Amino acid sequence: MAIECLVLGAGQEVGKSCVVVTINGKRIMFDCGMHMGYVDHRRYPDFSLISKSGDFDNALSCVIITHFHLDHIGALPYFTEVCGYNGPIYMTYPTKALAPLMLDDYRKVMVGRGEEQQFTNENILNCLKKVTAIDIKQTVQVDKDLQIRAYYAGHVLGAAMIYASVGDAAMVYTGDYNMTPDRHLGAAQIDRLHLDLVITESTYGKTIRDSKYAREREFLKAVHTCVANGGKVLIPTFALGRAQELCILLDDYWERMNLKVPIYFSSGLTIQANLYYKVLISWTSQKVKDTYATRNAFNFKNVQSFERSLIHAPGPCVLFATPGMLSGGFSLEVFKHWAPCESNLITLPGYCVAGTVGHKLSDKTTKVDVDKDTQIDVRCKIHRLSFSPHTDEKGIMDLVKFLSPKNVILVHGEIKNMVNLKGRMESELGIQCYYPSNNETVSFPTTHFVKADASAAFIRSTLTPNFKFLKDEAAEMAPVQVLDERVTQGILTMEKGQKVKILHQDELLATVGTEQAEI
């Protein structure tokens, strides 16, 4: 029996997460994402590798989505409504609630860029009707053999790590996770499990982050300095996740400093998303839950909607514009207008995928190609600061050490990060580690437990103490330490038609019907 892992996306890169794992004959697709940096065939996973005939219902036992980010769910409507998958789909309640907002927002971005529409709003709604919502630590019996369970991952509202088992074989797919709490979400939590495999993200696999408070101070100082000098601040971010985290931070700072500079959201999408955050308080951090009775953290006093006419309005402001990474849409439109002005600031709060405009920017950038026909002069300040909801190198190592699986597969990261993590895991933890590229398959043997009877003589032998007495000779009055290092030896026997049994070594000769021979 074996576990077979086919990486269809996020192999040695960040983007279009999609991993198909076969456990003792059961085939699970973990995530079904799209790549934000491509508009050609590389945008989606190569689903033909799952089934050449396109019979995905029989090829897969189920699909599990870890969270609502497009690089984890963006291809799902295409897979169900265009490719024809109609089998079981699982995700948490918040992910099911928020996914339609993210998917339809990006559909509009694609249409706005003049691209061929990959799926319609109706496709999105029909896709989500096929989804079964699950709760944290709820065990779901997909069929008589396959069992799954979700664990809290932090990262974004509703994000989950997924445990899957078939018989004695078991694994965890982490999706994206954060091992430290932030202002609106708690840290990832998972039980100690007996695992053959952990598939973990490695986005920041070569980064040890500074103190969260130091990063917050640096961010607030950069924003405050810009608006105090009359500049405009553009924060390209996705409507869900970092937008809420940074709004809580800025809203609180604006209150303390009594600032009157307007803070804007670029779309009604985030306003709508905030309504869900208010309803789904139980999935947020303990601090947010504790203060909910007196003040909802998502009621932002200083944040308002942004009208397109305000792009050229005079005076300072702070604008959260979607999508993140400057991958298109309104954030890229505003960037084109604001980047040439020296007094303005573009702050990039998270990871930017290769191929996006955000990935091309640095504090030394003077010109950037936003498409094949347009080049922008960049005179504004560029500020990169990791408010990413991904865990860092220490968090990844801590999780793997805690779970202690037999094997680890690294996905969702750059190869240099994966090489670093592989070296550390194999040398420090003694765990085999792999980082396959896209469309590559890795296989491992699985665990198989056998129940065995034990003879009375063997059990009695385990009860015999094996005392050792230790005393510190250098200290006259030191107490004696008593250790019981009990090691039991037995012989595993298998007789035809009978259960496996453990015997004491003295019973073996009688069992096999022979006598002891002296040499």
Question: Which residues carry out catalysis?
Answer: 201
Q: Are 8 and 128 in contact (CB under 8 A)?
A: no
Tokens of 62: 């189920």
Q: Are 49 and 14 in contact (CB under 8 A)?
A: no
What CA–CA distance (Å, rounded) separates 333 from 185? Answer: 31
Tokens of 519: 């040499």
From residue 515, give the alpha-carbon distance in Å to each of 364, 455, 474.
85, 20, 52
Tokens of 395: 């968090």
What CA–CA distance (Å, rounded) separates 497 from 92? Answer: 46
Q: Are 386 and 207 in contact (CB under 8 A)?
A: yes
Helices (H), 439-507: 456-462
Q: Are 34 and 75 in contact (CB under 8 A)?
A: yes
Tokens of 288: 């947010």
Tokens of 405: 């699986």
End-to-end CA distance of the chain: 42
Helices 242-257 & 212-228 angle (0-180, nearest 10) = 60
What CA–CA distance (Å, rounded) separates 312 from 309? Answer: 7
Q: Are 195 and 399 in contact (CB under 8 A)?
A: no
Strand order in the sheet with 18-23: 131-134, 89-92, 62-64, 26-30, 18-23, 2-9, 440-445
Helices (H), 178-267: 212-228, 242-257
Kindly report the number of other CB atoms within 10 A of residue 446's CB atom.
Answer: 20
